[in-house]
Structure 1
Amino acid sequence: MSTTRVLVRDVELPSATAHRGGGTLALITLDNGADHRVPSTLGSETIAELTTVLRALAERAAAGEIAAVAVTGKPYVLAAGADLKGVSRVATREQALELGRGGHEAYTLLSDLGVPSFAFVNGVALGGGLELALNCTYRTVSGSVHALGLPETSLGLVPGWGGAYLLPRLIGIEAAVDVVLRRPAANKPLSAHEAAVLDLVDRVLDPADFLEQSIAWAAAVLRGDVVVERRELESAAEWDAVVGAAREQLDAVVGTSRPAPHRALALMAQARTATREDAFEAEDEALADLIMSEEMRASVYAFGLVTGAKRPAGAPDPVLARKVRRVGIVGAGLMAAQIALLVARRLKVPVVMRDLDDERVAAGLAHVAAEVDKAVRRGRLTPDAAARVIGSVSATTDLGDLAGCDLVIEAVTERLDLKKRVFAELEDVVGDECVLATNTSALSVTAMAADLRHPERVVGLHFFNPVAAMPLVEVIRAERTDDATYATGFAVTKALGKSAVASADRPGFVVNRLLVLLMGRIVGAVERGTPVAVADRACDVLGLPMPPFALFDLVGPAVGLHVLTSLREELGDAFPHSPGSRRSWRSRSRWSGRRRRRGVRAACCRRCRRCSTPRARVPVTHRWTRPGCWTTS
């Protein structure tokens, strides 16, 4: 990646009158010389050059040669943060300290120039890029910007160039906790308009002539025609209450698995009363500790993998992908309904679910409707968009209704004979160009397609539960999958907003091969006498999204046992026997049988009638005893 250069030119500011000028603004542009698809980053060379430039501008300001300084970026980008590759190469704590101190030295010059400084945020401003803007006196932003944030805690770091101190003092501690801790965890940066609501930026301007408008606005500020007011700090009691609540949430969700969020919160807690010098020194120390930690290096490595997944190695040319104008889903259970909803929302094409009887079909449609209603209540879907999604999802018991589909995804029970039968029946219904995909979590896609007339059009698309939240989809190439089918798998995954993981057709693919090994060891420890609570908390240091047994119950004993058994048969004793899993599966099967004999509707088996709590979220050892709930056991 090209080094980002610091380019400077003088701009004459417009005046309120035509007879005299408004002074000179020194405009700094950060530019790495590449196109906008390669964002500018801030490495040590760039920071050193910025320091030199700002020192020279401070001298010009003292001599009265310039009235203000502004910083902007190349088209669509201010700066995407520090150079993570450079950070990962830091070998000693002293080098890490110098990295923090160098950034603080450069950015402090923006605050101490002797003239006002402006950030003209014309595009992406993440991490050190946003901190650059925070250290300026004023900030404008283009209305088209949708990536403003401080994602450092998701990378095992803290906002270490002023962000942990300046942000809470600018927008308030509660909003700062959201920007620094919650949004990075959810990968949700701010848009320009969201930043304006928080007072993170002072003015949102039209992207068409953003730079010209920003210069004119800066001139108005310098003349006194525009006055920017800053909010007062919260009281000590309010500040401490927000910090205390955030700390409790971190203890419950993150625990001891990652130090960065706790360090960032500690820095923000001190920001109300600390001096700038003390706060920046504390940021330096925190940054140095975290840069040398294994958690940071693992986080940056994972970030590189996820970023690389946007351009998957080994994927065929995207132009080979077939057009997908109608999608069929075989099955109407939980996974099938989730996939149908995702396809309807993201691909915006008609979706047809097919299952064996009217009861299952009705349950699948009810799940889609309930999730759409929830999205509307939470403001994630407009009523018009919700109506479009509901209108685009239909369900049927007639396999022939899938005839016009360009892609059919099977999501039926994990049995090879059943899946083979589904594909054989589909082959007599759909057109020759239709891609057939399986959502199998462990079965051989090659074996599934072996007896078909056109095995080359079968691909694996393994979604994870819950489909809406999990970012990965494994794209599995069977022995005879052709390039067009494989390319379609990647194209659909990308269009759904997911990260594609290319996988060969091997037992467990990628995720389950690792996850089931871990789960098998934990279940094995319990079967050898370890208390469940101890085993369940033993992996807290790994920072898993949920405890192992909560995940096991969400997946279901039947699926977990099937995958474990399949991997053991293929890969040997590394995957242990699990008598306990088999007993749990049989126990749940007997419970489900009693429930059916009592005449309870299938939909009620998945959700409580009154509170709509998904049964999958209730541990298998619990009974339905929540207050106000109708008991099904």
Structure 2
Amino acid sequence: MIATTSVREVAGHRIALLELTADERRPLTWDATALESLGSAVAAVGGLDVEALVLLGPGGGLGAGADLQELRSPRQPDLGLRVAERGYAALEPLRTLPVPTVALLAGPALGGALEVGLTADVRIARDGAAVLGLPEVRLGLVPGWGGVTRLAELTGRAVAGRVAVTDALAGRTLSATGALEAGVVDVVLAGEDLDSFVEQAVTAVAAALDAPGSGQPAPPPQTPPTAAWEAWEAWDGGALLAAVERRTPGGTDAVRAAVELLDALGDVEATAGTSLRERTAVRLSRPEPPLRKETVTAFDRLVGGVQARAGIASFFAVQRARSATRRAAAGARWSRVGVVGGGLMATQLAALVAQRTGARVHLVEVDPERAATAVQRVRGHLERAVRAGLDAAAAAAAAEATTAGTDLADLAGCEAVIEAVVEDLAVKRSVWRDLEDVVDDTTLLLTNTSSLSVTAMGDGLRHPERVVGLHFFNPVAVLPLVEVVAAPATSSEAVRTTLALADALGKTAVTSADAPGFIVNRLLSRWMGDALSLVDAGEDPEVVDRALQPDGLPMTPFQLVEHIGPAVQLHILESLQDAFPDRFVASACLRELVQHDLPGFRDPSAAALLPPRSGTATSPQVRRSLLCGLADELDQVLREHVAADVQDVDAAMLLGAGFPPHQRGLSGLLDTSGASQLVRGSRFHEEGAR
């Protein structure tokens, strides 16, 4: 990292702009070198004749957090202690600088990067660009440089608990608007580009210097909506722990450590409403950051724990998949993309493509009425995206770029066409046969199927080498995974281009061979199929449904059936039963559920469809049976080369199925439970490996 300081004269004020630059190919990582550069550069500002410091990271964001690579090494005495103290020491010049400090947030600021921003007196975010969060608890850690206590002093402990614990566990981040509502940032500015945002921000800082005793850090004062945060005004550590334990019985070490820090901090008065100079005065009046020793001790203790080792391994499994996706993106440009279908998935995909790529998107439906409805659905998805933080102007542009009609010929000239019609092989093959007569020979043909054979879809086409499966997960805007499915005839160039599109859509791709169920649905269906078979055999449905709840899985089998839809899940199980009759059974009670058109097993009417209870299996026995089934299926997936390796499977299950990082996804859960050893005679990972 390189730090460059310039002095700007604005409205009679001298303001230092400290700009950080780093490798453009990836977000700034706060390793030892970057921390040292920051500390030295800020300390040098103290010798300048300036009235304020404005900090700007590479591309506008402060980066993706601390360097976790160091924490992957074998356990060293006091490793966490050294890493935490290093961060505190590097931020000390910023904490003690005798002039007001402002952090600009126009990009990602996650983990340690947000801790850097929280050390400043004021934070100004760019609308539609800022992505903020403290994800450490999800990885089995706590923010090691004071992020929990610094945030609590700004927002109060309840909001800090939501951001650092609840949102972290759910994998949620804050947009600029959300951060403003929470009190994490002080001002949100638009800015047509980064340069104009910086100019507006520096001008706002100069204006704030002229109003030392009152007002917000930039005129005019902004009064954000607070409804989303009203329930988080009062701190209750016990209630937060209980809420976590309802989802993950027993909780996690990191959650307990974060709650202990917030409890120890005591009542604090949020400072979000004070002026810039008042904040500076409060900061300079404190001899040291609150609970520094306690934070460092907690971080050091967690670093050596099993859950942190698993969480860090999960992080790198996901990063590996993301890097592979990004490597394919060089030079890819999208100007026109087609979507066949106008249902829920098709319109979600159209909205995402228009929003993220800037391409013109055209949907094709069977009649004018459905085409018009599809456009309205796309606009509805974009409106929801605005509420989640998307810039309103960007949403309007995406809506303007989206059209719909009834003629496949209108898709001529598209670089890619995504098919998202009903999950029926004959219908999908008919679409591709008709479409191949319309589009160019180089057009990428992408099918959004959850279980059908990509090979079969390409049979009979003139160019089957360009047919690729692109399996999105619902809701499309939220879940970060796509499975890229390559049939034997699929060309490597088609796979590379599909990965580039996935990257443009902000997704992480895991490549799967063309096998029934691919990766995620195959493994989830083995779990659900085994669970439903136990219910069919007369075991207690509640015992079966909750057997893996202590392992922190995001849904029970019954909840998952409701989420996917009974008819869709039955179709997937039937497909898998055809392929693997020795391991998969299309459940009789699931079939009854579909025939009676019920939404799930938790519907009151579903109880009458279940067989009489005759089994006596205990929860531990059911858990062992289900985990051994998963271990068997994961072993089969790897032996059949459906996935390249176990890390790809872990990334897919973490991103697509929400398996817990503190368990190292699916494979780590199977290893620690002993199921791997029971089924295959060995673990999926060497013991102690990160």
Alignment-mate amino acid for residue 345 of structure 2? M
Aligned residue in 2 for 1:42: 30
Aligned residue in 2 for 1:103: 87
Aligned equivalents of 1:387 and 1:211: distance in 2? 24
Aligned residue in 2 for 1:456: 465
Q: Is the 8 Å Cα contact of residues 140 and 201 (structure 1) preserved in structure 2? A: yes
Aligned equivalents of 1:361 and 1:555: distance in 2? 25
Task: Check 1:122–1:241 CA distance in 2 against 1; reply closer, same or farther (3 A cut).
Answer: closer
TM-score if structure 1 supplies the norm length?
Answer: 0.72
Task: Check 1:386–1:541 CA distance in 2 against 1; reply closer, same or farther (3 A cut).
Answer: farther
Alignment-mate amino acid for residue 114 of structure 2? L
Within the candidate set 242, 245, 250, 2:244 is matched to 250
DSSP-derived class of the 1:250 partner: helix
Alignment-mate amino acid for residue 191 of structure 1? A
Counterparts of residues 569-588 of structure 1 (less than 5 Å): 569-570=578-579, 573=582, 575-578=583-586, 581-588=587-594
Kindly provide the CA deviation profile for residues 94-131 of structure 1, in whole angstroms up to 9, marking residues without a partner as x.
32233324433454565457x45735547654322332
Aligned residue in 2 for 1:180: 164
The number of equivalent residue pairs is: 569
Structure 2 unaligned blocks of 5 or more: 218-230, 269-285, 607-690
Within the candidate set 392, 415, 420, 2:402 is matched to 392
Kindly provide the CA deviation profile for residues 599-626 of structure 1, in whole angstroms up to 9, marking residues without a partner as x.
xxxxxxxxxxxxxxxx85x5464459xx
Aligned residue in 2 for 1:440: 449
Q: CA deviation at 1:531?
A: 2.4
Aligned equivalents of 1:431 and 1:205: distance in 2? 40
Aligned residue in 2 for 1:281: 293
Aligned equivalents of 1:65 and 1:469: distance in 2? 46
Task: Check 1:521–1:177 CA distance in 2 against 1; reply closer, same or farther (3 A cut).
Answer: same
Kindly provide the CA deviation profile for residues 4-31 of structure 1, in whole angstroms up to 9, marking residues without a partner as x.
57x798x88989999xxx9xx9x89686
Task: Check 1:550–1:393 CA distance in 2 against 1; reply closer, same or farther (3 A cut).
Answer: farther
Residue 335 in structure 1 maps to residue 319 in structure 2: no
Percent identity between the two aligned chains: 35
Higher relative contact order (CA 8 A, sep 6+): 2
Aligned residue in 1 for 2:495: 486
Aligned equivalents of 1:341 and 1:65: distance in 2? 49
Aligned equivalents of 1:161 and 1:497: distance in 2? 29
Aligned residue in 2 for 1:352: 363
Aligned equivalents of 1:322 and 1:68: distance in 2? 44
Q: Is the 8 Å Cα contact of residues 487 and 514 (structure 2) preserved in structure 1? A: yes
Alignment-mate amino acid for residue 316 of structure 2? G
Q: Is the 8 Å Cα contact of residues 257 and 540 (structure 1) preserved in structure 2? A: no
Q: Is the 8 Å Cα contact of residues 257 and 542 (structure 1) preserved in structure 2? A: no
Within the candidate set 65, 70, 75, 1:91 is matched to 75
Kindly provide the CA deviation profile for residues 400-459 of structure 1, in whole angstroms up to 9, marking residues without a partner as x.
666676544333444444433443344345554443322222232122212222212311
Alignment-mate amino acid for residue 226 of structure 1? P
Deviates more, 1:449-458 or 1:272-281: 272-281
Q: Is the 8 Å Cα contact of residues 120 and 214 (structure 1) preserved in structure 2? A: no
Counterparts of residues 187-202 of structure 1 (less than 5 Å): 187-191=172-176, 194-195=179-180, 198=183, 200-201=185-186
Alignment-mate amino acid for residue 141 of structure 2? L
Deviates more, 1:381-390 or 1:144-153: 381-390
Task: Check 1:174–1:536 CA distance in 2 against 1; reply closer, same or farther (3 A cut).
Answer: same
Kindly provide the CA deviation profile for residues 567-588 of structure 1, in whole angstroms up to 9, marking residues without a partner as x.
4554564x3434xx24422442
Counterparts of residues 202-217 of structure 1 (less than 5 Å): 208=195
Aligned residue in 2 for 1:226: 212
Aligned equivalents of 1:323 and 1:67: distance in 2? 46
Within the candidate set 261, 264, 275, 1:267 is matched to 261
Alignment-mate amino acid for residue 294 of structure 2? A
Residue 535 in structure 1 maps to residue 544 in structure 2: yes
Q: Is the 8 Å Cα contact of residues 72 and 122 (structure 1) preserved in structure 2? A: no
Aligned equivalents of 1:195 and 1:378: distance in 2? 13
Aligned equivalents of 2:361 and 2:200: distance in 1? 44
Counterparts of residues 620-631 of structure 1 (less than 5 Å): 621-623=603-605
Task: Check 1:48–1:226 CA distance in 2 against 1; reply closer, same or farther (3 A cut).
Answer: same
Aligned equivalents of 2:412 and 2:48: distance in 1? 74
Alignment-mate amino acid for residue 585 of structure 1? R
Structure 1 unaligned blocks of 5 or more: 232-236, 593-614, 625-633
Residue 506 in structure 1 maps to residue 515 in structure 2: yes
Task: Check 1:459–1:193 CA distance in 2 against 1; reply closer, same or farther (3 A cut).
Answer: closer
Aligned residue in 2 for 1:325: 336
Alignment-mate amino acid for residue 167 of structure 1? L
Q: Is the 8 Å Cα contact of residues 221 and 227 (structure 1) preserved in structure 2? A: no
Q: Is the 8 Å Cα contact of residues 561 and 582 (structure 1) preserved in structure 2? A: no
Residue 475 in structure 1 maps to residue 459 in structure 2: no
Task: Check 1:214–1:437 CA distance in 2 against 1; reply closer, same or farther (3 A cut).
Answer: closer
DSSP-derived class of the 1:476 partner: strand
Aligned equivalents of 2:387 and 2:39: distance in 1? 49
Task: Check 1:239–1:536 CA distance in 2 against 1; reply closer, same or farther (3 A cut).
Answer: same
Please tell me the root mean square deviation across aligned C-alpha atoms, in Å: 4.9
Q: CA deviation at 1:243?
A: 4.9
Aligned equivalents of 2:30 and 2:391: distance in 1? 37
Q: CA deviation at 1:91?
A: 0.7
Aligned equivalents of 2:368 and 2:11: distance in 1? 73
Counterparts of residues 278-317 of structure 1 (less than 5 Å): 279-312=291-324
DSSP-derived class of the 1:312 partner: helix
Q: Is the 8 Å Cα contact of residues 245 and 251 (structure 2) preserved in structure 1? A: no
DSSP-derived class of the 2:78 partner: helix
Q: Is the 8 Å Cα contact of residues 461 and 474 (structure 1) preserved in structure 2? A: yes
Q: CA deviation at 1:313?
A: 6.0
Q: CA deviation at 1:167?
A: 1.4
Kindly provide the CA deviation profile for residues 283-326 of structure 1, in whole angstroms up to 9, marking residues without a partner as x.
2233223322333333333333434444426976754x685524
Within the candidate set 120, 140, 158, 1:156 is matched to 140
Kindly provide the CA deviation profile for residues 533-571 of structure 1, in whole angstroms up to 9, marking residues without a partner as x.
223223334433332221123223343344334445545
Kindly provide the CA deviation profile for residues 307-352 of structure 1, in whole angstroms up to 9, marking residues without a partner as x.
4444426976754x685524131x4444344434444554553432
Q: State which structure, 1 or 2, has the greater radius of gyration over its C-alpha atoms.
A: 1
TM-score if structure 2 supplies the norm length?
Answer: 0.66
Task: Check 1:572–1:292 CA distance in 2 against 1; reply closer, same or farther (3 A cut).
Answer: farther
Alignment-mate amino acid for residue 144 of structure 2? G
